[in-house]
Amino acid sequence: MADERHIILETTQSERAIVLKQLLEEFAEMQLFINGERIDLMENQLKAEREAVFEAIAAERAIVVGAAVKERADTMDELEIMVDELVERSAVKVVDHFFVRAVQLLAIALVGFALIAVVVVLVWKRR
């Protein structure tokens, strides 16, 4: 009985050693695989995601810059229209003011000529 028990214990210990060795080998392989996957994740997948994020940011920035450029162009067009209207109104006011002054000067000149004519006629008649 003791010999059988001893044989069974040796067999169990040898099988346990074999199983433990196989488990340790598989564990080492799993660690290598996980390390490889981790490196792949860090180098490739994260790099791809980072590039995708940068591309998305660049696209959004291009959209915002395009909208700002369009808004600036629209604002400049509106400003140009407002300046043109202001200049036109100012020019009309200047021309109107000029003609009002010209009419006033002409009226004063006509009144002056009329007075001179009256004086000349009165002087002419007295002689």
In a domain, 63, yes or no: yes
The answer, yes or no, to whether residue 61 has pLDDT greater than 80, is yes
Rounded CA-CA distance 127/124 in Å is 6
Rounded CA-CA distance 78/95 in Å is 26
Residue given tokens 């009226």 in the structure block: 107
- pLDDT per residue as tens digits for the range 17-47: 999 999 999 999 999 999 988 888 778 887 8
In a domain, 1, yes or no: yes
2: domain range? 1-93
Return the pLDDT at 90. 79
Q: Show the tokens assigned to 93.
A: 């006011």
In a domain, 4, yes or no: yes
Q: How many residues does the chain have?
A: 127
In a domain, 64, yes or no: yes
Return the pLDDT at 24. 95
How many structural domains compose the chain? 1
In a domain, 66, yes or no: yes
pTM of the model: 0.43
Q: What is the DSSP letter of 69?
A: H
Taking the alpha carbons of 22, 24, 25, 27 in that order, is the dihedral positive or negative? Answer: positive
Return the pLDDT at 62. 96
Q: What is the DSSP letter of 43?
A: I
Taking the alpha carbons of 93, 98, 104, 110 in that order, is the dihedral positive or negative? Answer: negative
